[in-house]
Structure 1
Amino acid sequence: MPQFNYEARDRRGKIHKGVLEAASKQVLATKLKESGLRLLQAEQKKESIWSKEIYIGNPVKPIDFIVFLRQFAILIRSGVSIVEGTSILGAQTESKVLKKALAQIEVELREGSSLSSACKKHSHIFSPLFVNMLMAGETSGTMDTTLERLADYYDKQYRTRKKLQSALTYPIVIGIITLFIVTFLLTYVIPTFEDLFVQFDSELPFITSAIIAISDWLMNNILFVLLIIVLLFVIFLLIFYNKSTRIYIDYAIMKMPLIGKLYQKALIARFTRTFGSLLENSVPILESLILSERIVGNLIVSDVLQKARRSLETGNSLTEPMKKHWIIPPLVIQMMAIGEKTGSLDYMLQKAADFYEAEVETATDQFKAMLEPMMIVFLAVIVGTIVLAIVVPMFTIFNTIQ
């Protein structure tokens, strides 16, 4: 919230100067009036580069945002005005970022702005999809229904994303644990036993010699290895955020065993849910396609949707370009084609989204059930090989001692 350097006068005519935080000059004047002061002049303090807030992704937790939408819908349905509803929710939300944004939105609403235009100024919280659906709700006079649909949309998106994250978390955690264990064994345990083997001057098996060689190389080049890891990470980020190369990463992920199909189902669920929700809230179909292209988060799907939009703009079928690409399943194309012919495209998309969200849930459970034993075996083989390299020569040393 901005801060103001102000100058005010009390009832006795004495001048007061200070700094106060307020959403606008009008709010500042109101605050000072409640303290018995009359505002004479105010100037907003300029933010330094260090005081500016930097956000990575949406700074509001999905759960907080969903609760806010559901409560807002209930308040509007109960007859509470949008301004009062914004004020009530701003006072009780636990999210500091959302609280600050709602305070500023309330000021703009009282000055005559619409809710959608006020939310548009806070793009770090309210996405273009949210603003467009809100605008459609204002136009149709169904704000409560629109807010409820938005809550349902974000809730389903959140649940699908959490399912996908839960499926990927297990292998990532096991991989990190394996990396730490192997690094510890190679840099701490193996050198200790290497000294013992040298003392007894015993002939070492091939597996032991190989592990010792790897350990020595790692010990001598640890900084080089760390530099390579950092460099690879930076290169990956550059490739990932470059549109011309990102498409190859998206394609590679889609073709990965096990996870490729799961990722594809999650993308189809996101696309159909987003497109269907926008159409259900009376957002124009071309605008809905543009927003879906941006939100789906995969360049291959975005490219197909772009071709579908161009097909629609030239008066052709929406689904025709989709039939020529492998990324969109035939079931979705058929349901969309039926929706186009019957005028129930939004309904068919929502049903397709329901189906694929259930598919993602089932597929993640199956993925985890298959992956857990595979990861345990992987960890056992890696660690077991290193342990075996230590144990085998130990038997030779014990026999020599005896």
Structure 2
Amino acid sequence: MHYFQYNARDMLGKAKRGKVQADNRSEALEKLQAQQLIVFKLRELNRTLNKELSFGKRVKKKEFIIFLRQLSTLIEAGVSLVEATGLLQEQTKDKFLKETLKVVRTDLVEGVRFSDSVEKHPKIFPELFVNMIRAGEASGELDDVLNKMAVYYEKQYDMRQKVITAMSYPVLVAFVAIGICVALLVVVFPQFTGMFASMDAELPAYTAFVLSLSEGMQKYWYLGIVFLLLCAVLYRVIISKPEGKLFIDKVRLRIPVLGSFYQKAILARMTRTMSSLLESSVPILDTLQISSRILQNKVMEQVIQDCYETIEKGDSLAKPMEAHWAFPPMITQMIRVGEKSGSLDSLLHRAADFYEQELDYAAERLKAMLEPILILILSAMVGSIVTAVVIPMFSMYENLQ
């Protein structure tokens, strides 16, 4: 996307100046002409110097949700969009959001539609939000759409926090286990090296192996860092390619226990997004396009793209899902019933509620299941190193007797 600065006049002759986001100059002109503006000057802004890009800064999810909830409340209370944006600009603590709302308010004062204004700031306002706002403006139900968006992003935030909480526990235990083992091998185990050297008896094979591992880690510790860096670089290279990203996402869905949890999180996000868009009268094809881009999983994204092609041919939306292992029968059945009854948005809403509840249960089950397993693994790792010290000590004790 490129940014273009324009000078124009509206049908009443009032001067207009601002920025528009488009893929090229022709698209920028079309967008401005659609707003009934007569353009006198249009130039592309330097991407590096363009303030709207702000060098990759983003607003925190929580700040964005607070902004949405407050904006929805103000609009429902009868406050105009210009006044509401001005009030929120003054009270928000996020510097980047404050600067952006200032630009949005200026656009609104100059007669730019809210959807066109927020579209210029993709780092703050997601594509889903922009399309929902556009649908709300077309239907005259902007206040209702803003409320739905506030609820939607609150649910997405809560779901994301649940996933992070569920996954952080095993990751933390894994790091602790690795840290303890490294400390035992590098700090504790070498203390017994002198004692082992003084023994006339040959060390057991297992103790000799652990001893060589300890010495290797002390001498070549930097190789471990190099290995981790290479793994990180390799991972980045793999996911940078479509085939690699597809492979990684497929593996994530196939992992025992964790894969099912990950699948439920994606299905909850998909159904919630689709139901929100359809309830706001967004066309089904646009709904599928937007939904596929927010799934963050190439496997399911491809299926949604297949659904897009299926709908274009006049076939059922559920057909590609039924043929794919990543979509459970329940979701495909609900979609089929929704298509036949004309209540697809309502059934997707119920499906979203179901999978969000399932995600709660899955998070609890995952924690309950992983806790004893991880403790056993940690105990086994520490015990195996301690055993390497104890075995030769028993041998030494037997020799003394």
The alignment's TM-score, normalised by the length of structure 1, stands at 0.84
Tell me the residue number matched to 1:389: 388
How far has the Cα of 1:71 moved from its partner? 1.1
1:344-363 alignment, distance < 5 Å: 344-363=343-362
How far apart, in 2, do the equivalents of 1:388 and 1:380 lie?
A: 12
Tell me the residue number matched to 1:54: 55
CA-based RMSD of the aligned residues comes to 2.3
In the alignment, residue 342 of structure 1 is paired with which amino acid? S
1:76-87 alignment, distance < 5 Å: 76-87=75-86
In the alignment, residue 104 of structure 1 is paired with which amino acid? V
Tell me the residue number matched to 2:102: 103
In the alignment, residue 54 of structure 1 is paired with which amino acid? F
- Give the 3-state SS of the residue equivalent to 1:54 in structure 2: helix
User: Measured at CA, do residues 322 and 75 of structure 1 come closer, stay the same or move farther in structure 2, by a change above 3 Å?
Assistant: same
After TM superposition, the structure 1 stretch with the greater mean CA deviation from structure 2, 317-326 or 385-394, is 385-394
How far apart, in 1, do the equivalents of 2:238 and 2:329 lie?
A: 31
How far apart, in 2, do the equivalents of 1:48 and 1:132 lie?
A: 27
1:89-238 alignment, distance < 5 Å: 89-238=88-237
1:297-376 alignment, distance < 5 Å: 297-376=296-375
In the alignment, residue 113 of structure 2 is paired with which amino acid? S
How far has the Cα of 1:375 moved from its partner? 0.5
How far has the Cα of 1:310 moved from its partner? 0.5
- State the identity %: 41
1:59-70 alignment, distance < 5 Å: 59-70=58-69
- Give the 3-state SS of the residue equivalent to 2:56 in structure 1: coil
How far apart, in 1, do the equivalents of 2:399 and 2:90 lie?
A: 79
In the alignment, residue 181 of structure 1 is paired with which amino acid? I
How far apart, in 2, do the equivalents of 1:253 and 1:175 lie?
A: 18
How far apart, in 1, do the equivalents of 2:174 and 2:56 lie?
A: 29
How far has the Cα of 1:206 moved from its partner? 2.7
How far has the Cα of 1:223 moved from its partner? 1.9
How far apart, in 2, do the equivalents of 1:135 and 1:47 lie?
A: 26
- Give the 3-state SS of the residue equivalent to 2:55 in structure 1: coil
How far apart, in 1, do the equivalents of 2:188 and 2:276 lie?
A: 58
Q: Give the number of equivalent residue pairs.
A: 359
Structure 1 unaligned regions, length at least 5: 1-22, 25-45
How far apart, in 2, do the equivalents of 1:164 and 1:76 lie?
A: 32
How far apart, in 2, do the equivalents of 1:318 and 1:168 lie?
A: 33
After TM superposition, the structure 1 stretch with the greater mean CA deviation from structure 2, 353-362 or 194-203, is 194-203
How far has the Cα of 1:231 moved from its partner? 0.5
After TM superposition, the structure 1 stretch with the greater mean CA deviation from structure 2, 256-265 or 321-330, is 321-330
User: Measured at CA, do residues 95 and 188 of structure 1 come closer, stay the same or move farther in structure 2, by a change above 3 Å?
Assistant: same
The alignment's TM-score, normalised by the length of structure 2, stands at 0.85
Give a deviation string over 1:142-173, Cα, whole Å, max 9, x none.
Answer: 11111110011111111111111111111111
How far apart, in 2, do the equivalents of 1:342 and 1:294 lie?
A: 27
How far has the Cα of 1:106 moved from its partner? 0.8
Structure 2 unaligned regions, length at least 5: 1-16, 19-45
After TM superposition, the structure 1 stretch with the greater mean CA deviation from structure 2, 279-288 or 317-326, is 317-326
Q: Which runs of 4+ in 1 moved over 6 A?
A: 46-49
How far apart, in 2, do the equivalents of 1:67 and 1:115 lie?
A: 18
How far apart, in 1, do the equivalents of 2:70 and 2:177 lie?
A: 45
How far apart, in 2, do the equivalents of 1:294 and 1:277 lie?
A: 15
After TM superposition, the structure 1 stretch with the greater mean CA deviation from structure 2, 372-381 or 220-229, is 220-229
Give a deviation string over 1:215-249, Cα, whole Å, max 9, x none.
Answer: 12222322222212111111011112211111111
How far has the Cα of 1:316 moved from its partner? 1.4
How far has the Cα of 1:139 moved from its partner? 1.1
